[in-house]
Structure 1
């Protein structure tokens, strides 16, 4: 049986495989301004609460799990929409600091929540939303096949790193690295070398 993988780890992996490994394998974590701002944003939804307004029931801090995928975590908010007398349909919402990003890490984390909800509730979930603290707006996310495939791929690749027990070498990307709270520990400028992570991971799995 695979060890449980936490949903938030997928976001770390998509942002940087080395960051994921430092947290997952080596237990490293350091706060910075960006992570602190994220914590403040999440304080509003960290307590379990259930509110109903009209045909929408809103549940915050909802525990999620998928036994088949071996993942679990906490959904910031899940709205349950009911049309007339039909069954409720789930709509997960993840709160993030900052603004929408060019990469899909946030979308993958949200999609993983949807996969958990689908297994738990026995229903298909077509969409959710990301709420960004800087824009104060929801960004709707459609759980299409491409995003589902990317999410499943990320889960598999996280497990591959865990199975090797080895942390990928750093690759210095200025824009990403400067915003990472683990930069001083990671030392990407002094230790980094130009190795494609996919090549590194494939080599480690082959050697294992």
Structure 2
């Protein structure tokens, strides 16, 4: 975390940060799980990763955003690449940008995405988890955040409703259980597989038809 957020004792993002243990689940794992539990397990349990043009674009976008210097415009402080955590929830990660209103003191997480808004709340869950971290770190309620999409060049406002918060907490619990199990769920082939950089490792079409596990279970099961 750069700039004044690292150096100012009065900054709300630093309150109590040194007294916390490192959480165990990364914020990126929540987005991976919401997209596909098998993808989440392959990345975070099996340490598998393959880059394609989509992930390369996303990485380049985040490198560009994260490399920017903190700045203040019209009473709003823009901090980039902000490290956040919530010990109570056992999560941690990096927020692309936190907007700090210097008049009201309110904070707003902003996440940058390569593509366009999705019908499923994958990105909203990740953003809400960032807000939950900021809330634990600062003691203030984070009402809303924003998602900026490179493909549409448009910012989407996200309200952290009770429903989204509940959904995010449920995903956090599910991810923690998955990672603790050390198991990788079986593949389920779908449209989203075409955009997944791990499709060659996952082999969803091939393994979905594999009956070997059932055969072995039939041989040795009661």
Answering whether residue 191 of structure 2 is matched by residue 171 of structure 1, we say no
**TM-score (ref. length: structure 2):** 0.82
User: 2:126 and 2:188 mapped to 1: Cα distance?
Assistant: 23
Q: Which stretch of structure 1 is more off in the superposition, 43-52 or 88-97? A: 43-52
Query: Aligned residue pairs: how many?
Result: 190
The structure-2 alpha-carbon separation of the partners of 1:128 and 1:114, relative to structure 1 and needing over 3 Å to count, comes to: same
Question: For residue 217 of structure 2, what is the aligned residue in structure 1?
Answer: none
Answering whether residue 202 of structure 2 is matched by residue 182 of structure 1, we say no
Tell me how large the CA RMSD over aligned residues is. Answer: 1.6
* Cα drift, residue 107 of structure 1: 0.3
The structure-2 alpha-carbon separation of the partners of 1:78 and 1:2, relative to structure 1 and needing over 3 Å to count, comes to: closer
Question: For residue 175 of structure 2, what is the aligned residue in structure 1?
Answer: 158
User: 1:49 and 1:120 mapped to 2: Cα distance?
Assistant: 22
Structure 1 residues 139-154: aligned runs within 5 Å = 139-154=156-171
| 1:50-85 residue CA offsets vs partner (Å, 9 max, x unmatched) | 1111210000001100011111111000100133xx
User: 2:69 and 2:85 mapped to 1: Cα distance?
Assistant: 19
Question: For residue 197 of structure 1, what is the aligned residue in structure 2?
Answer: none
Question: For residue 100 of structure 1, what is the aligned residue in structure 2?
Answer: 117
The structure-2 alpha-carbon separation of the partners of 1:65 and 1:186, relative to structure 1 and needing over 3 Å to count, comes to: same
Q: 2:155 aligns with which of 138, 154, 157?
A: 138
Question: For residue 14 of structure 1, what is the aligned residue in structure 2?
Answer: 34
Q: 1:75 aligns with which of 71, 84, 95?
A: 95
User: 2:67 and 2:90 mapped to 1: Cα distance?
Assistant: 24
Answering whether residue 73 of structure 2 is matched by residue 53 of structure 1, we say yes
The structure-2 alpha-carbon separation of the partners of 1:138 and 1:164, relative to structure 1 and needing over 3 Å to count, comes to: same
Long gaps (5+) in structure 2: 1-20, 211-222
User: 2:68 and 2:132 mapped to 1: Cα distance?
Assistant: 21
* Cα drift, residue 129 of structure 1: 0.3
Long gaps (5+) in structure 1: 195-208
**Match of 2:70, SS?**
strand
Contact 1:48 1:62 in 2 (8 A): no
Q: Which runs of 4+ in 1 moved over 4 A?
A: none
**Match of 2:32, SS?**
helix
* Cα drift, residue 30 of structure 1: 0.4
Question: For residue 139 of structure 2, what is the aligned residue in structure 1?
Answer: 122
Structure 1 residues 183-202: aligned runs within 5 Å = 183-192=199-208
* Cα drift, residue 11 of structure 1: 0.4
